[in-house]
Amino acid sequence: MSDIFRKKSVSLLIDESHSGEHTLKRSLGSLALVALGIGAIIGAGLFVRTAAAAGSHAGPAVIISFLIAGLGCAFAGLCYAEFAAMIPVAGSAYTYSYATLGEFVAWIIGWDLVLEYSLGAATVAIAWSEYLNNLLGNFGMHIPYEYCHSPFQTGADGVHGLINLPALFILLIISLVLMRGTQESAVVNGIIVIIKVAIVLLFIALGWKFIRPENHVPFIPENTGKFGEFGWTGILKGAGIVFFAFIGFDAVSTAAQEAKEPQKGMPIGILGSLVVCTFLYVVFSYVLTGVANYKDFGVGGAGHEASVAYAITTYMPGYSWLSIMITVAILAGFSSVILVMLLGQSRVFFSMSKDGLLPAVFSDLHPKFKTPFKSNALLFLFVSVFAAFVPGDTVGDMTSIGTLFAFVLVCAGIIIMRNTDPDTPRPFKTPLVPFVPILGILVCAAMIYGLGKENWIRLFVWLGIGLVVYFGYSVKNSKLNK
């Protein structure tokens, strides 16, 4: 069994990334990487998960939830930055784990990243569907409930959902864009980032004068007697939920093999996007819970879906135009998040396939565009199942717990690598090792605890399926084994 913990050396990883037909094109500069991070970060987490966390768990103290989540991401981000600069290869945490913790752990984390990227894309596609329906409502149109909701959802009038068609539509469009090329995708993403950051700032600026101080009282609603329903346990649960809003920053690391100067660009892209978005999140959540009462956002509340548009139309008279504008920008923003998530997933599978742990189809590149187009097509089919047939809250929580688990392993990897490979060149160093990685592990583990037993079970079931695939296929086909 010991050979399942075989490791890849850093030099081998880098040599492989420069050789052979499976070589990605280096086309992304530092600013493009920061934009890539912001493109993934600002989206469903801000415009959907903020209200969900406030309405059912943290109340106005969702601001503290964001600070806790941001703190955990800061610690993990510093660890990611060291790895991404030291090992500028596609694959993110999977690749880093292969070099530090061995093949078996690398498989587990690569399989776990499916929860982050694929289910993350599904979550955002579902949110895209909600906001599209809200936009159509401004023009007297709507998509029938049964064709924009999961079969596990029932409307207020008793209508059952069948399939989420708008979510399928946006996933198809983004998948086709990704097959065309990374540089072209980055240009589209950059334009969308500018639009949605401008809209976030506009909402903050205009919404500030509509803040009602009484909506922030009590700032920390009293716990109902149940874990995670307000009080400090609610804040912790809220942190696990809004953590979804931060998952994009590590997606930057999956594009390391396509960065022009990864040693410089990776730390800038990861940490720069994280700092910008944390600031925007805290201010945005303060304004949103000040304009509308957090109870409006609870399950069954009037503002449960398309919460930002609801807050504007209900509590900001005279700004219906802003509701329409922000909904259009949110739809564009969600599209860029889906783009980065699907890009990240295809690059993780690209690396796993090159290592023989997944079939070769996942690393086949288009002869002209040099993109893993077959992988993109297969991922579209897989992600579509969740987007079309599973409720958004369920998929979102699975995304968060999968990502948090990956962060814990990345933080642990820094401590191990400093001891086993102290002489490897490190263009960027995580400060105060082992304290920063240990703090990252503790904060992320606390958020995993806050997400509750149901999500722990889902994580273990998913990892169990991964073990079957590893021992049934991957361990025998591993190129390192051969």
Mean per-residue pLDDT for 274-295?
89
**Burial of 152 by CB count in 10 Å (0-12 exposed, 13-18 middle, 19+ buried)?**
exposed
Mean pLDDT of 409-415: 89
Hey, which bits of 5-103 come out as E strands? none
- What angle do helix axes 103-137 and 453-469 make, rounded to 10 degrees? 120
The answer to whether residues 69 and 447 touch, using CB atoms and an 8 Å cutoff, is yes
Helical segments of 292-391, H only: 307-315, 320-354, 373-389
Contact 147, 160 (CB under 8 A): no
Q: Is the pLDDT of residue 257 over 60?
A: no
275 exposed, middle or buried (CB, 10 Å; 0-12, 13-18, 19+)? middle
Q: Residue ranges of the domains in the chain?
A: 25-475
Backbone angles phi, psi at 348, to 5 degrees: -65, -45
Global pTM? 0.76
Model pLDDT, residue 242: 84
Decide if pLDDT at 383 tops 50: yes
Contact (CB, 8 A) for 259 and 85:
no
pLDDT in tens, 309-318: 888 888 998 8
Compute the distance between CA of residue 281 and CA of residue 412 in angstroms, rounded to an integer. Answer: 28
In this structure, which long-range contacts are made by residues 430-437, counting pairs with CB atoms below 8 Å and at least 24 apart in sequence? 430/78, 430/79, 430/81, 430/82, 431/78, 436/75, 436/78, 436/79, 437/75, 437/79, 437/411, 437/412
pLDDT tens-digit map of 114-144: 887 888 889 889 989 988 988 898 888 889 9
**Rounded to an integer, what distance in angstroms lies between the CA atom of residue 204 and that of residue 129?**
24
> What is each CA distance from 342 to 102, 360, 397, in whole angstroms?
26, 18, 18
Confidence of residue 394 (pLDDT cuts 50, 70, 90): confident
Of all residues in the chain, the percent with pLDDT exceeding 90 is 21
- Report residue 211 CA to chain centroid gap: 29
Residues 6+ apart with CB under 8 A from 149: 155, 161, 162, 164
Exposed/middle/buried for residue 156 (C-beta within 10 Å: 0-12, 13-18, 19+) = exposed
Dump pLDDT digits (tens) for 317-365. 888 888 888 888 888 878 877 887 888 788 788 888 888 899 988 888 8
Share of the chain above pLDDT 70, in %: 85
Fold for domain 25-475? Amino acid/polyamine transporter I (1.20.1740)
Structure confidence at residue 1 as a pLDDT band (50, 70, 90): very low
How far apart are the C-alpha atoms of 183 and 27, rounded to whole Å? 6
> Per-residue pLDDT averaged across 409-430, rounded?
85
The answer to whether residue 282 scores a pLDDT higher than 50 is: yes
Give the separation between CA 190 and CA 177, rounded to whole angstroms: 14
Helix (H, G, I), strand (E, B) or coil at 21: coil
Give the C-alpha separation, 357 to 214, whole Å.
56
pLDDT value of position 21: 46
pLDDT in tens, 38-95: 766 776 567 777 888 888 888 999 999 999 988 888 888 888 878 877 776 655 677 7
Q: Which two tokens stand for residue 389?
A: 């047939």
Q: Are 153 and 171 in contact (CB under 8 A)?
A: no
Q: Distance between CA atoms of 184 and 15, rounded to whole angstroms?
A: 27
**Contact criterion met (CB below 8 Å) for 361 and 378:** yes
Strand partners, 259: 28
Query: Is the preceding omega at residue 434 within 30 degrees of 0, hence cis?
Result: yes
For the segment 63-78, what is each residue's pLDDT rounded down to a tens digit?
999 999 888 888 888 8
- Between CA 187 and CA 327 the distance in angstroms is 22
